[in-house]
């Protein structure tokens, strides 16, 4: 099953999660944020696309929902990320940010 999102070894490494898995995620943009748990809902595989001035890179990502109420509160209080348990807990994670299955 190839999606043309990078070298073959990256594709094999990244294709190990499925819908419904609970995983531990580390935010790539803010290294100081401690890892948190999410449940994977829907997978998105986006192929590389050629634009007018540059090429948009492909990626694999997931729609997900936060699992732990403590994580939701910590992210809102410490980092002003607008999560509110139990209603506003939807997020998006890149597959490269997933540390492991929990």
Q: Give residue-wise pLDDT tens across range 70-101.
A: 999 999 999 999 999 989 999 999 999 999 99
Provide the 10 A C-beta neighbour count for residue 64. Answer: 22
Distance of alpha carbon 93 from alpha carbon 77, whole angstroms: 20
CATH fold, domain 8-101, is SH3 type barrels. (2.30.30)
Q: Which pLDDT score is estimated for 16?
A: 84
Statement: residue 2 has pLDDT above 90: no
pLDDT at 9 over 80: no
pLDDT in tens, 12-69: 554 589 999 999 999 988 889 999 999 999 999 999 999 999 999 999 999 999 999 9
Farthest CA pair distance, the chain: 44
Confidence of residue 1 (pLDDT cuts 50, 70, 90): very low
Task: Using alpha carbons only, give the angle 13, 15, 17 rounded to the nearest 5 degrees.
Answer: 115
State the Cα–Cα distance between residues 15 and 2, nearest whole angstrom. 10
């Amino acid at each position: 099953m190839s999606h043309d999102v990078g070298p073959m070894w990256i594709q094999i490494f990244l294709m190990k999660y499925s819908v419904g898995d609970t995983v531990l995620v580390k935010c790539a943009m803010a290294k100081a944020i401690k890892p948190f748990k999410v449940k994977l809902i829907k997978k998105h595989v986006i192929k590389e696309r050629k634009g007018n001035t540059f090429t948009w890179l492909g990626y694999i990502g997931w729609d997900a929902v936060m699992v732990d109420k403590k994580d939701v509160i910590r992210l809102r209080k410490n980092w002003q990320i607008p999560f509110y348990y139990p209603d506003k807990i939807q997020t998006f994670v890149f597959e490269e940010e997933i540390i492991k299955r929990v």
